[in-house]
Amino acid sequence: MLMQRKLKISTKIWLSLSILVIGYFISMLFGFILGQQAELRLHIVSESLFTAAKQSQLAQMAFKEQIKNFNDGVLLGELAFIESAEMKANEVSNALTIILSLKHIDPFNLERVRMIEKNLKEFNTAAWPVYSRLSAFLDYVSEIEAEDVFKEREKLENQAFALAKKTDYLGKELDDLSADLSENLKKELAEIGNLTLRQRYLNLIVFFVVVISAVSLIILIVTRSINRPLEKTFMLESAVEQSGDGISVSDMNGRIQFVNSAWANMHGYEPNELIGGNIQSCHNQKQVEEELNPFIETVKKKGANTGEVGHMRKDESVFVSMMTMTLLRDDYDEEKIRIVSIARDITQQKENERELRKAKETAEEANRALQESLKILKQTQYQLIQSEKMASLGGLVAGIAHEINTPVGVGVTASSFLEEKTKEYSKRLTFNEMTKSDVRKYMNIAAEASTIILNNLNRAADLIRSFKQVAVDQSGEARRKFMLKEYIDELLISLRPKYKRTPHKVTVTCPDNIEIDSYPGVFSQVITNFLVNSLTHGLEGHPPGEITIDIRVDGSYLYLVHKDNGKGMDSETLKKIFDPFFTTRRAQGGTGLGLNIVYNLVTRTLGGQIECQSSPGNGATFTVIVPLTVQEEETEQN
């Protein structure tokens, strides 16, 4: 009867578990189907919409560069700009051709692209001869042809004015196309996000429904079956028999009346071999005299006792148990007293204690090795930080080289032009063909070229002077007094290549008379890392943003507040912002050391404090508080 009841209960429980498993697989199937839909739409976005948005932006930028090259060609009289404009026109055409080759683009936008492509071809066909002719007019200097040239130039300028209107129209069309494609991309990504969210909610609902149903069924089975009245004797006997601890019952003379399987197995006997025998048969003579008899006497006096007692198995091997003895009185016969013994083999526990002591010694040794490894790790971290600083200096060198290239190139061009005109007028002078008007023209050309050369050489000299000071400060850690406003202005000149091609604006508010006694290289590294962090993380892909650096003095402390109006960060990212190797751009090559370097430089080298405040959509604000004069003990420590 008991076995049938157990079988029935087990069958119902397994049925409930089967329902739970089947429901789980159903929820997984729903999730797989919805996941396939989301994956398909994401494939469409990556293969078509994203490419279309990107190519439209490339076409938009290339067209602006094309128009700029046309204007520069007319102003400077260089056909090279017209040729560059033709290359940019090809880039625009290639970008539009790529968009037309994409699938899954709505017909309306495809028709717009075709129309824009057609208009661009007409525009380029008309613009090429006009701007080419206009750019060549600087070479027309003969007085005989001056009147004809003037008329032709006036005609070409009228044509260029008409083309400028077309330029505005085409630029607006490209801007609108880029904006629409970007908006379509955002909408599709938002829809994919909503689909994924619905998938999660559906999975949760199905999962909870299945779990609640199965749990309810199991509870119902347990309530109806297991809680039915059972025989008290049966429950006690089952509990004793199934106990993992050895249990024996003996009379006051030590004769065994009952043992469970665990007690018999513990001593290597069958239960019927022990029943009727004496409890002393489970111990050797020494254990009986030194441990068992004193233990039983204590039980007789106090009614119970617990402690370690040695035992002997049938094969005469010994083990130690934690044993509890209790006097058991009969409710119907007060004179009938028995002793209940509960023993648990603790041989393994003793072995574990020995292993634990050994493990503790091993752990202490490992801890010493860990301390050594930590020391090596700190040295490695210092080397990584130095590498990051040198990488920053390398980026500064590349930017300055690119920045200097522009004024030097302009100076070379102007000097070459002046040399050419000098040779031309010298030849006229040699053959007595020089007129008064030629002298005036040459003087004007010489004055203008000299001004251009001087201005650009001064610009290059300023850049080199700023770079020399900043580079020396970044590569070393010398402490000196310096004017902070002047130093930051020089630093921003060196950093200008990092943001000049972005739409973002950098504003510095700092009194001119702030002089500090500190490490200029540290300030350079801190401001550089702040600026790069804002451009890379806060303002990337953001509309024209603003970076502000506000500096003020309060008592003997300097307050530097760096703020941007970028995308900001959530609370979880904010908690880890200064942790080493934490970065949200690991896949793009981020090391996670930029702000950690800033934190260490501010708190350790400068002896100051730093904190960051940010929330999604509200940009980030870094506040640095440092002493105007670095303390001597901090200098020695660094």
User: Are residues 399 and 507 both part of a single domain?
Assistant: no
Q: Compute CA distances 154 → 134, 137, 157, 159, 398, whole Å.
A: 10, 11, 5, 9, 45
Question: For residues 446-481, b (16+ Cβ closer than 10 Å) or e, as one string?
Answer: eeebeebbeebeebbeebeebbebbbebbeebebee
Q: Are residues 70 and 213 in the same domain?
A: yes
CA gap 95, 89 in Å, rounded: 10
CB atoms within 10 A of CB 264: 20
d(CA 1, CA 634): 85
Residue 524 CA to residue 517 CA, distance in Å, equals 14
Mean confidence (pLDDT) of the chain: 78
CATH of the domain at 264: 3.30.450.20
How far apart are the C-alpha atoms of 414 and 425, rounded to whole Å? 16
User: Per the domain annotation, does 235 fall within a domain?
Assistant: no
- Checking if the pLDDT of 541 tops 50, the result is yes
Give the pLDDT confidence of 95-144 residue by residue, as tens digits.
Answer: 888 888 887 788 888 888 888 888 888 888 888 887 777 776 655 444 44
What CATH number does residue 524 fall under?
A: 3.30.565.10
Residue 380 pLDDT level (bands cut at 50, 70, 90): low
Domain total of the chain: 4
Q: Are residues 68 and 187 in the same domain?
A: yes
**237 lies in some domain:** no
Give the model's confidence band at 369: pLDDT under 50 very low, under 70 low, under 90 confident, else very high. Answer: confident
Check pLDDT > 80 for residue 474: no
Q: Does residue 42 form part of some domain?
A: yes
Indicate whether 464 pLDDT > 70.
no
The per-residue pLDDT for 85 is 81
Averaged pLDDT, 485-508: 83
176 belongs to a structural domain = yes
415, 446, 476 - which closes a domain: 476
> Which is higher by pLDDT, 71 or 531?
531
Cα 120-126-130 angle, rounded to 5 deg: 130
Note the pLDDT of residue 381: 59
pLDDT per position as a tens digit, 601-624: 898 888 899 999 999 988 999 999
Residue 625 clears pLDDT 90, i.e. is over it: yes
Asked if residue 484 and residue 470 are part of one domain, the reply reads no
**Considering only CA atoms, which of 529, 523, 538, 532 is closest in space to residue 595?**
529
Domain that holds residue 441: 359-476
Degrees to nearest 5, angle at CA 507 with 502 and 509: 165
For residue 629, the 8-state DSSP code is B
Out of 180, 197, 225, pick the residue that ends a domain.
Answer: 225
In this structure, the answer to whether residues 407 and 463 fall within a common structural domain is yes
Percent of the chain beyond pLDDT 70?
76
The residue among 558 and 238 whose pLDDT is bigger is 558
Residue 284 lies in a domain: yes
Helix or strand or coil: residue 306?
A: strand
DSSP annotation of 535: I
Residue 367 belongs to a domain: yes
Task: Determine the Cα–Cα distance for residues 86 and 90; give it in Å rounded to an integer.
Answer: 6
Residue 92 near residue 70 (C-beta atoms within 8 A): no
Cβ-based neighbours of 616, under 8 Å, separated by 6 or more: 567, 568, 569, 570
> Would the pLDDT of 2 be above 50?
no
Residues 496 and 593 both lie in one domain: yes
341 and 375 assigned to the same domain: no
Comparing 395 with 207, the larger pLDDT belongs to: 207
Nearest to 254, CA basis, from 272, 278, 281, 288: 278
Q: Which of the listed ranges 130-144, 277-291, 368-382 does the model predict with the highest average pLDDT?
A: 277-291
